[in-house]
Amino acid sequence: MRQPPYHLRPNKAVDRLTLIEAVKYIINLGVSLSDYTYYTLGGPHLEDCRLIYEFYPEIKMISVEEDEDIFKRQDFHLPCGTLDIRQGQFKSFLTEYDPKDEKSIFWLDYTRFEPGNFEDFMVLLGKATPYSMIKVTMRAEPRDYFNKKRKAQEFQNRFGAYLPRPETHPPATGKGFASLVQTMLRIASQKALSSATPLTFQPVSSFRYSDGTGMFSLTGIVCQRDQQDGVKEAFKRLQFSNLTWASPRLIDMPILSTKERLHLQRLLPCGPGAGAILRQSLGYLIDDDQESTEMKLQQYADFHRYYPYFMKATP
């Protein structure tokens, strides 16, 4: 099975590194990262596992992969000896998953938009222990449904259990579609952790971006309801935090040369109006017009610490 080259896509790389940043704030909850296990659908290159090991070697890691050839590629790209890669269906793994008293970090990283994504999320919420972190990423592409009557009906039929209203139509914009997916995940969390249970799901960040297709990504913490304010306090200094189910933040990184980045780096951080400041420093447009150039450069100013370098190398 072919998969997109996620290790070479800057928006995906930024989203990946926002998870790495969020994990750092877990210790503000008064727990140790050595008590956590990271579970992932790691993909052929296991890039997220490489980063987890690089930043938090004390965290145990397990990757689950169904495809035999991708599993073989994972074995080839194994970033460390502490990663346990397993071949099998993730749904079967999730059915058998028993955390006992263990705290977990899950990244449910899906390439499609399916009802099963929400089902997995709900199953996991029903099993996760307090202070476990869950990140869900899935396709959020309005062109899949927009302006197609039968497709809209199909959308309502397939996802009705998670829609705010049965007649909800899929939005025509990437921003609107991502916001709806976030609402659907919020509804799924409320179904899985009803008011009758002592636990809830507290969001800490959410993003929308394109890596060839529209994507949405949500990260949150499972916690006791009476500890929700404490979780918000622990993550309030997380850059780009979303603690109130506000609209997902856009990630839309410009393509810049290494020379351009080195030139701009000395100006960062530069506060409000960064897009205009960086455009003036470059002295030319990098997109269609001044407005879109400044928007792109504002994105770079916001996320430059997470922007990867892609280098040509001779093996």
Residues 290 and 168 in one domain: no
Residues 90 and 231 in one domain: yes
Backbone angles phi, psi at 293, to 5 degrees: -60, -45
Last residue of a domain, one of 204, 232, 251: 251
Nearest to 218 by CA among 256, 191, 180, 255: 180
Q: Which amino acid is at 295?
A: M
User: Strands, DSSP E only, in the chain?
Assistant: 36-40, 60-65, 83-87, 103-109, 133-139, 199-210, 214-224, 249-251
User: Strands, DSSP E only, in 184-314?
Assistant: 199-210, 214-224, 249-251
Residues 234 and 263 in one domain: no
Q: Is residue 114 part of a domain?
A: yes
Total length of the chain: 315
- Tell me the per-residue pLDDT of 164-203, one tens digit each, with 9 for 90 and over: 999 999 999 999 999 999 999 999 999 999 988 999 999 9
Q: Is residue 173 part of a domain?
A: yes
Spatial contact of 250 and 208, defined as CB atoms under 8 Å apart: yes
Quote the number of domains for the chain: 2
Other CB atoms within 10 A of residue 111 CB:
17
Last residue of a domain, one of 233, 251, 269: 251
Full domain range(s) for residue 137: 6-251
Please give the pLDDT value at position 314.
56
Residue 288 has pLDDT above 80, yes or no: yes
Residues 138 and 233 in one domain: yes
Cis ω for the linkage preceding 99 (within 30 of 0): no
Residues 139 and 276 in one domain: no
Nearest to 87 by CA among 47, 50, 41, 51: 41
Residues 154 and 56 in one domain: yes
Last residue of a domain, one of 251, 270, 287: 251
Residues 239 and 279 in one domain: no
The set of residues, in sequence order, having a beta carbon less than 8 Å from that of 105 and lying 6+ positions away, is 23, 36, 37, 38, 39, 59, 132, 133, 134, 135
Residue 7 has pLDDT above 60, yes or no: no
Which two three-digit tokens encode residue 131? 């202070």
Q: Is residue 25 part of a domain?
A: yes
* Alpha-carbon gap, residue 305 to 309, rounded angstroms: 11
Beta bridge partners of 90: none
Nearest to 249 by CA among 223, 221, 219: 219
Q: Is residue 167 part of a domain?
A: yes
Residues 178 and 198 in one domain: yes
pTM of the model: 0.92
- Tell me the per-residue pLDDT of 133-164, one tens digit each, with 9 for 90 and over: 999 999 999 999 876 778 888 999 999 999 99
Residues 278 and 165 in one domain: no
Nearest to 19 by CA among 241, 256, 184, 181: 241
For the chain, what percent of residues have pLDDT higher than 90?
86
Q: Is residue 312 part of a domain?
A: no
Residues 234 and 290 in one domain: no
Q: Is residue 315 part of a domain?
A: no
Q: Is residue 1 part of a domain?
A: no
* 135 φ/ψ sector (left φ>0, alpha ψ -120 to 50, else beta): beta
Residues 160 and 282 in one domain: no
- Tell me the per-residue pLDDT of 105-117, one tens digit each, with 9 for 90 and over: 999 999 999 999 9
Residues 108 and 206 in one domain: yes
Spatial contact of 145 and 170, defined as CB atoms under 8 Å apart: yes
Q: Is residue 61 part of a domain?
A: yes
Q: Which CATH number is 34's domain given?
A: 3.40.50.150
Please give the pLDDT value at position 145.
86
